[in-house]
Structure 1
Amino acid sequence: MSTERLVVIGGDAAGLSAAAQARRLRGASELEIVVLEQGPEISYSACGIPYWIGGLVEDRDQLLARTPADFAAQDVVVRTGTRAEGIDLAARQVVVGGERLGYDSLVVATGGKPFRPPIAGLDADGVHGVHRLADGADIRAAIAAGAKRAVVLGGGYIGLEMAEVLQTRGLEVTVVLADPLPMAQLDDDMGEKVCAAMCAMGIDVQSNQPVREIEVGVDGAVRAVRTDEGSYDTDLVVLGLGMGPETTLAREAGLALGTTGAVDVAHTQRSRSHPEVFAAGDCAQTFHRITGEAIHVALGTHANKQGRVAGSVIGGRPARFSGVLGTAMTKVGDVEVARTGLCTTQAEEGGYDYRTELIESSTRAGYYPRAAPIHVKLITERGSGLLLGAQIVGGPGSAKRIDVFATAIWAGMHAEELAGADLSYAPPFSPTYDPVVVAARVASRVETG
């Protein structure tokens, strides 16, 4: 039996999950696996970069999950510092320098890329993304060199996290938003609570102000961010504008892209246009579990699962990706933020007749030390009480409650069913009726009268 070859482009969550799963299912004598990674490191936690910048993670290497040597021990060849320059779909080859590397199966796991709007000065010294370990090193170096002021562009997950850690490092922080509120993934009433928390921390939030220019000094370094409303002096600029799919290789090769601009794949992560090619992670299009609509969500949890699905199929085991709810959480200061499922805008766009309930409760028994307020918003289908989405803003201990809602929505539960769920109770962790149950009970009472 001749040995087949799997080539993986991209050495992070999706690509390495695919390689590891394919190796578990097929021996080295049956399947040769080669992973191409253009950067110097593999398998690192990009989500941990803000906390390394903030000093909560002391050593950069703590963010590294596995090394090329770890994979070599599993008969997986990882070639770092190796950029795939092109894909010849007809010949089933990847162009790498002067080499053409043939494949029987190909996994495209090129990840995502930070949004970089066409703004003058965005390439100046002192403007940083938060995508690679090198980005974190550059920001840490700027702080060590004496940076005193920072402007964060964008108020999503990365924007909030970077605003907090930069303030923790002693910088004056301004967050500039094109939107009216931070956390556009939330409804406005919940986004307002996040904004109020940021302002209470001393973070300067400037909303409804698209950036017009990054002003640069004679030395070529950033000195201010200009909007139509004013100019904000700064020593460094951090981009927190979100992520899009990195599909340059896929597009130039002729792989079909979906409506989101990411690689169009079936539920098996197999390319719809070229069945010997798979795509997974931030470069691949996925679908919302509730609406079935095509979406693009850049999260490491999805990337790992999609890579595992691709590796399973390549390894000969049937597998399908089950969609996403967009479940995510973050924090700014002591305020935790989480969401899952549909927000009201998505529910309306999905054609749902929906209703919302917003409750305020406590993270612990009210008499227990350090009990904090928690606000829970629940979105349900009017009449049936079908759970569609949930949002949480509250003190320490709030955010992980979103997983109960995510599980209930995943299972197709209704508010009345969740209201009767047997959730745990002890004063250090929850009031007698957990806020999850309270929100579900209020929603079910409205539906049943």
Structure 2
Amino acid sequence: MTADRPTAPGLSLLVRLPGREPALWHTGLASVEHQVPIGPDTAFNTGSVAKQITAHLVLLAARDNLIHLHQSAADLLPKLKPADVTVAELITHTSGLRDAETLLGLAGLRDLDHYTAADLRTLAYRQRERAVPAGQFLYSNTNYLLLVELLETVHRTDLADLARRQIFDPLGMHATGFQSDPRQVVPGAAAAYRPSDNGWQHTQPPAALPGPGSLFTTAGDLDRWLGHLHQQWQHDGASLPWQEALGYRTADREPYLYGPGLYAAPRPGNTAVFHYGHEHGFSAATHLTRDGLRIVSLSNNTDLASDHAAAAVLRALDQHPGQDLDELLPLAAEHARRTVQTAAVHSKDDDGWPHHEVGRFTCDQVPGALRLTRTGDTLHLWRRGTPDRLTPAGPATWAGNGYSLTLPGDTGDIEGFTLDLDRAPHLAYVRQPS
């Protein structure tokens, strides 16, 4: 079923009840400028939903004795400094390695600057120790970036070729593939958009992150993948997919666990595994229950969040189990709409006071430098050439957008600070000589 006469980017939503044929609903445009509607063959970037594919390939390599899950990852990646980080810890986000993409912003990279996997690995290999204690969950794309390098090392081929031969071709996922280069043409691919004052604006930068952020696929192909995952789950007889090979660990939100690229939600009588992805304006969600319910949601519109759509489907199925899916899916898509909030950044604060330089600060874990300035009693941290106004959050702590800055003492003569980003904590910055 398709919504009529779309005028904006949109969503592809698939639901398969246990033992039933899937219901597929799509709305919106794959290409706004060319007025191409989203259809069953439209491919979307899945973002971190791809982690379950990468993890699956690692587990297959472990089954074939090419990799040992509890061996040091540095055995295969000699540039990796924390030598005690295991392959299993990379899979379950318990390595303590900071997120390399997050560090790019601190290194001065701008939104439209091109970067490569090699650039991100360079940032990963600058880290000499874990940012959090061993076993503590820290979601980080660096883990899966390194897993890709590990796979390519033992198989002597690239991720795109490996995934095609071992997963996509055998499952008939012929519209699915990893985009190894952002210039690569992906057949049937949607473009991603966000609303602007003049209509719609493209969101994709000239970069592709292998493993966690470069998989393009369709809703139908992801349904095939979830069917294979469910079959494996049933065959193993474990409470969670691949659990005998890899134990699930406590994740960042209770009561969820994290395993091979999958969150697990223990539900009485019907455990579910799921993952969400947000990548350069695209969003994606997959949800699979032990009894075989499958939900796939793919969006190229920042105002339509795939995870919200999947959650709306689950709520509707719980509240109205007999509701017709042709009625349910459009309602779920409408519930997924969200308002994008933007904030203007100015070179002066709200009172018009000029910025006074505090100093430039560097960290040996990240290239480049950050600036601190002061307007009156307010501090500003400069990244990518623009200032973030910091809000006092404690006696020596200041809050920014997605991070906090902690001073060793008062704000009189600042010689250094600790920067804690959501996915890159405990970065020590020191003041550089004038």
Give the TM-score, by structure 2 length.
0.29
Structure having greater relative contact order (Cα 8 Å, sep ≥ 6): 2
